[in-house]
Each structure stands twice: as C-alpha cells, then as structure tokens.
C-alpha cells in the first residue's frame, strides 16, 4: 500500500533502512501480476508495483522454532507467519497492516517479547510520515489508494482537517487491543 502511494522509500527510511536492506515475501510479484493484490489495486497500479517489489530482496527462511509456533494459529496466513517468525528470530522490524494476524500473534508465547517495539502498523508509519513530510504531502500521495483501505479513507478524507489526529486515534484504539504486543512509534510519549 505504501508503494502505491509513493511512500515506501520514505517509510523504510524512517526505519533506518532502504529497499536493499528490506525484505518481502517471494510471492509478492506474482500476487501483483495475477493474485489478490491485482484485484485489489487494479491493473495500472499493480503494473507500477511489480518492479518495485522486484527491487526488494526476498525474505529468508526462519528457524522452525519460531515458525512452528505460528503454523496452527488461526488468522495468521503462511506468509505472515514467515515474516513474524523471521522478525522474532533475527530481531527485525516488521511493517504490517494485518490487524487480524496481530491480534492472534499477541497470544503466541515468546512473540510479544521478541518483537517488542518492532511491529510497525500502517497508522504509526503514516503518523511519522505526516510528521516528516507534512500532512498535505502525505494526503496527496495516499489519494490514489484511498479507496483500498477504510482507515486511510477515513483519516485522509477531504472532510477531515487533521489526518494525523485521526491516525493517532486509530493507533491508540489498537494499543490495548494488541497488548502485550508493544507497537513501534516515532513520537515521544506524552
């Protein structure tokens, strides 16, 4: 979603990374060519995203120790399981918008402590991007993808004068729901 809004490079830069030090699932280019993502984003956007996906290295394989804990967990698909397991094993930061998976992950033994402060949700990265680039710039960049995500549509609606405030409200509502999983954020606690 961030790449579709021309925000991917800015977002991973906020995480002290770049495309070459990031990773993606092996199936991502296929999903953009023929899978669910193509249906979601449409042909034009998907065609733009395929070379971006190909510019990001493929994620490695996690140890069975972490992956086996996630296999039986409902609401965590195999791709998310691979990402969560490798992030826990290697102490990596993970960027995800899959709230259902996170709600299930929080209860899997060992993951909350292994991933503490390194799970970046879309709301948090958009808040950080609003702080860095300004809400007007971020609003303009997310405009092409506004129809694909309810939260983005609500926060960046033309009727909403302060998308950062709306994003923060969404973020704050998720914090207790995902406890004991501690989410990443870039702002100082008040």
CA-angle at 75, arms to 152 and 147, nearest 5°? 20
Does the structure show a pLDDT above 80 at 188?
no
Q: Number of helices (H) and strands (E) in the chain: give both, helices first.
A: 11, 2
Q: Above 60 in pLDDT, residue 190? A: no
Q: What average pLDDT does the segment 164-186 reach?
A: 96
CB neighbours (10 Å) of residue 92? 16
pLDDT digits (tens, 9 = 90+) for 91-118: 999 999 999 999 999 999 999 999 999 9
pLDDT classification of 189: cutoffs 50, 70, 90: low
CA dihedral sign, ordered 128, 129, 134, 136:
negative
Mark residue 150 as left, alpha or beta (left: phi above 0; alpha: psi -120 to 50; beta: remaining).
alpha
With pLDDT > 90 as the criterion, what percentage of the chain qualifies? Answer: 87
Q: pLDDT tens digits for 75-96?
A: 999 999 999 999 999 999 999 9
Q: What angle (nearest 5°) sits at the alpha carbon of residue 167, between those of residues 112 and 89? A: 20
The model carries a pTM of 0.93
Q: Which helix (H) or strand (E) holds 94?
A: strand 94-96
Q: What is the pLDDT of residue 145?
A: 83
Token pair for 35: 């899978």
Residue range 170-189: mean pLDDT, rounded = 92
Kindly state the average pLDDT of the residues 40-55.
93
Whether pLDDT at 156 is above 80: yes
- The predicted-structure confidence for 65-77, as pLDDT tens digits, reads as follows 999 999 999 999 9
CA distance 81 to 77: 6
Q: Which sign, positive or negative, has the C-alpha torsion 35, 102, 114, 116? A: positive
User: Phi, psi (5° rounding) for residue 91?
Assistant: 60, 50
More confident residue, 112 or 144: 112
């Amino acid at each position: 979603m961030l790449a579709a809004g021309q925000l991917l490079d800015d977002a991973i830069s906020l995480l002290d990374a770049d495309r070459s030090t990031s990773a993606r699932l092996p199936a991502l280019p296929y999903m953009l060519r023929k899978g669910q993502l193509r249906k979601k984003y449409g042909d034009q956007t998907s065609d733009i995203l395929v070379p971006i996906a190909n510019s990001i290295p493929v994620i490695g394989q996690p140890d069975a120790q972490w992956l086996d804990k996630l296999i039986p967990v409902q609401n965590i698909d195999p791709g998310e399981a691979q990402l969560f397991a490798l992030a826990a094993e290697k102490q990596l930061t993970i960027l995800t918008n899959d709230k259902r998976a996170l709600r299930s992950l929080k209860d899997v033994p060992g993951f909350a402590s292994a991933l503490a402060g390194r799970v970046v949700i879309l709301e948090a990265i958009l808040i950080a991007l609003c702080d860095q680039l300004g809400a007007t710039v971020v609003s303009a960049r997310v405009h092409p993808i506004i129809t694909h995500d309810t939260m983005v549509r609500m926060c960046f609606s033309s009727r909403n004068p302060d998308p950062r405030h709306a994003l923060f409200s969404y973020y704050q509502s998720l914090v207790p729901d995902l406890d004991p999983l501690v989410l990443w954020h870039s702002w100082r606690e008040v």
